[in-house]
Amino acid sequence: MTDTSADLVILGGGSGGYACAFRAAELGLSVVLVEKDKLGGTCLHRGCIPTKALLHAAEVADNAREGDQFGVKSSLAGIDMAGVNSYKDGIVGGLYKGLQGLAKANKVTLVEGTGTFVGPNTVEVNGDRYTGKNVVLATGSYAKSLPGLEIGGRIITSDQALNLDYVPQKAIVLGGGVIGVEFASVWRSFGAEVTIIEALPRLVPSEDEWASKQLERAFRKRGITFKTGVRFTGASQTDTSVSVNLESGETLEADLLLVAVGRGPNSAGHGYEEAGLRTERGFVLTDERLRTNLPGVFAVGDLVPGLQLAHRGFQQGIFIAEEIAGLNPRVIDEAGIPRVTYCKPEVASVGLTESAAKEKYGSVETYVYNLAGNGKSQILKTAGGVKLVKAPEGPVVGITLVGERVGELIGEAQLIYSWEAFPEDVAPLIHAHPTQNEALGEAFLALAGKPLHVHG
């Protein structure tokens, strides 16, 4: 057994772990980064990047199928999943190579293997021990299932769905959250019949109710079936199909069942509870500065209760590195973290939903700008809108957008939210024409009392 010391030992090389490692190295700290799989974690290899590659391939398929709308004679001959997967894997591979190069350039010591936190400030890997003045736990999350629902064969999670070598003719998606609606969107664009089952009353239930209604309307037009407010009771499979039973007594059949019921914290088997870490439902509990109950031990990303988003973990990793280095970084505002669901149409938001704002402030002012008044959106043939939520006698505290490509607008929306801007602050800003950014500008013009291109 060897015992290596460093300023910082990080367990987990996903978005939060590697961001913490690179920023700490920039600040002159010695860093050991332990990862059992590949640098980049779930986001790069089994999450954000590969799913968005599939979604772009789906967009290309839709464009080919719908060319006549634009006077372009095109048609969709079929989906070559080998080609789609090659494209996807090429992107992942290139980014992975880049991360490895950054680790080397930053002189981060990479240790391959499954790490166990043995406390108070040590991680053990394959019998070797790595002791840090500070330790960061960044072991991420895993795709959850439901009690009694065994993953295997035709019952899959997003991990297996990313590597399918065929397009299912019929697919059932259990869960209408982000992962569920994104895969439903991909498979529908690829030509599959898709049914979503969601126990809660609406799709993307964590988003503003207005956004759910917009998405549901768009999915109906696309031919995506969904059943909300109904519970799953069981599933069985044969060599050729899977049957899904619902609490309503209905039975559905398909080629595949995608279990998309969320992700759980990957905390089991790492020695956390044994070392005395305070946990709840598997999540490692921290204060607002991401400190656990053990001195010098921090936790980051999906392991910590809150939004399970790669960019949240990334920023938290930077925060911890700067905290350890004594820079006293500003506490991260969870509500200010942008959220994007990349289905067709996209849903993007930052700040509070209308219901959350009412709970906080009692009453709010809202305004919805319809994309029917936006020239670029009409060129793209996308429906949707921009919803603003304003605190009484205060700034705009929530922004939600629905429509194709609106995820690219969330950066400006985040700046407006973080600025604590009043409508009158944003209304004079000039937005280039014709862009979808103008929709944000028009929404703020209207809320400031001077609406121009207002439809519906």
Active site residues: 433
Q: What is the DSSP letter of 127?
A: T
* Residue 349 contacts residue 399 (beta carbons within 8 Å): yes
Question: What ranges in 260-409 are assigned the alpha helix state H?
Answer: 310-324, 354-361, 375-380
Report CA Rg, the chain: 23
Closest CA to 396 of 432, 427, 370, 431: 427
Token digits for 357? 């704002």
Q: Give the integer Cα–Cα distance in Å for 307 and 113.
A: 27
Q: Is the dihedral of CA 111, 92, 194, 192 positive or negative?
A: negative
Instruction: Report residue 265 CA to chain centroid gap.
Output: 15
3-state DSSP: the chain helix, strand, coil percent, rounded to 5? 35, 25, 40
Question: What ranges in 205-267 are assigned the alpha helix state H?
Answer: 209-222
Which amino acid belongs to residue 426? V
CA distances from 87 to 44, 48, 350 (A): 14, 15, 31
Q: Give the integer Cα–Cα distance in Å for 290 and 17.
A: 13
Task: Give the HSE-up count for residue 380: Cα atoms under 13 Å, Cβ half-sphere.
Answer: 20
Other beta carbons within 10 angstroms of residue 47's beta carbon come to 25
Those residues whose C-beta lies under 8 Å from the C-beta of residue 9, and which sit 6 or more positions away, are 31, 32, 34, 121, 122, 123, 130, 131, 132, 134, 135, 136
Q: Give the integer Cα–Cα distance in Å for 225 and 212.
A: 14
CA distances from 85 to 106, 251, 267, 445 (A): 31, 32, 31, 44
